Structure 1
Amino acid sequence: MTHPVNLAGIHHAAYRCKDAKETVEWYARVLGMTYTTAFAEDHVPSTGEYDPYMHIFLDAGNGNILAFFELPGQPEMGKDPNTPQWVQHLALKVPSEEALLAAKAHIEAQGIDVLGPTHHGIFKSIYFFDPNGHRVELAADIGTAEQYEELARVAPLMLDEWSQTKKAPRHADWLHEIARAEHAKGA
């Protein structure tokens, strides 16, 4: 049976920004994104309330759109004080480990602090912050087809165990061993 909702992908993911122009320029300079579209309104179309905004859209590649809202009439943007800074982030894919390292060098040359690469067993990532304080991750897949198949196999087992114990299930310890071995080699 097919599901009644027929998704065709993510249309866009939206975040808040402090300054739309600065955000467009930063994502173009640092990540090479193309600014594609903007909507500016005084009234929110879905609610009708007065709340002037600028809604900008950036092409993140492969039909993926990243959007931001500048909301000058709202209190200064903040973060969830009960969620660690590393949790909420935007992860963007790069095609290879070499591309990841080249991106890191480019981003650091822009004067931006970069953490990583961090080895996650089946992908490697770097992390940094945009001018709005959003954490951005660039990730390069490095896993094998067999590793991805095994992760898909154990995913339901891990979720069930987590739901019962709220402790990290050990079904994918081999994944962490790969990362530890790479780290020990200095990779």
Structure 2
Amino acid sequence: MKLQGVHHVAYRCRDAKETVEFYQKHLDMDFQLAIAENEVPSTGEPDPYMHIFLDAGNGNVLAFFELPSQPQMGRDTNTPEWVQHIAFKLGSMEELLAAKERLVDAGIEVLGPTNHTIFKSIYFFDPNGHRIELAANTDEPGMLQELKRVGPEMLEEWSRTKKAPKTAAWIHGEGEFPGYQG
């Protein structure tokens, strides 16, 4: 099997119309289409829903379900709020800073930019409580290749110790990037 990409990623929303308007206004996403059913096609269960699809750029689609018959949505209380998020790529730091200014001017609370060494990002919440990240790549030549090279070793060490390996500590400001070692 050869996957051709992500068809779409779907999340729940409180209000489909409000969600479309938020993503159109603040992230310039085009509203692609809506599907509404009174029964779940895969199970036949009666459960009316509105399924909306937004263009997230370069063939990527972000979708949401409004489920008015279900209990009010909440977050996964067993997972810290920063873990589950939707990250979108911007073309430059200038675009990232302009996006932050635009969001702040619209009254949206924004955290960052946060420096992750290979990219910088800002964070905010959509009207449904989903954490959104906007990221701009800032990697230097060889950084991504080096992270790919040491990835299996880091994963093995993590599996054994459940502690952050020091193999690529430079990504968190511990020392200088040694260059690609491959």
1:19 is matched with which residue?
15
Given residue 67 of structure 2, which amino acid in structure 1 is its aligned partner?
Answer: L
Q: Does 1:138 align with 2:130?
A: no
1-side partners of 2:108 and 2:171: how far apart? 30
Q: Does 1:98 align with 2:94?
A: yes
1-side partners of 2:72 and 2:173: how far apart? 43
2:124 is matched with which residue?
128
1:167 is matched with which residue?
163
1:144, distance to aligned residue in structure 2 (A): 2.2
Matched-pair contact (CA < 8 Å) for 1:121–1:179: no
Q: Does 1:29 align with 2:25?
A: yes
Q: Does 1:85 align with 2:81?
A: yes
Q: What is the TM-score of this pair, normalised by structure 2?
A: 0.94
2-side partners of 1:150 and 1:177: how far apart? 16
**What's the CA shift string for 1:132-168, capped at 9, x where partnerless?**
0000000001102300110001111110000000001
Given residue 70 of structure 2, which amino acid in structure 1 is its aligned partner?
Answer: Q
Correspondence 1:58-73 to 2 at 5 A: 58-73=54-69
User: As a proportion of its length, which structure holds more helix?
Assistant: 1
- State the superposition RMSD in angstroms: 1.3
Q: What is the TM-score of this pair, normalised by structure 1?
A: 0.92
Unaligned 5+ residue runs, structure 1?
A: 181-187
1:149 is matched with which residue?
145
2-side partners of 1:88 and 1:175: how far apart? 21
Q: Does 1:113 align with 2:109?
A: yes
2-side partners of 1:118 and 1:178: how far apart? 16
**What's the CA shift string for 1:68-87, capped at 9, x where partnerless?**
00000000001111100000
2:180 is matched with which residue?
none
1-side partners of 2:20 and 2:38: how far apart? 21
Aligned length: 176
Unaligned 5+ residue runs, structure 2?
A: 177-182
Pair 21,72 (structure 1): closer, same or farther in 2 beyond 3 Å: same
1:6 is matched with which residue?
2
Given residue 110 of structure 1, which amino acid in structure 2 is its aligned partner?
Answer: A
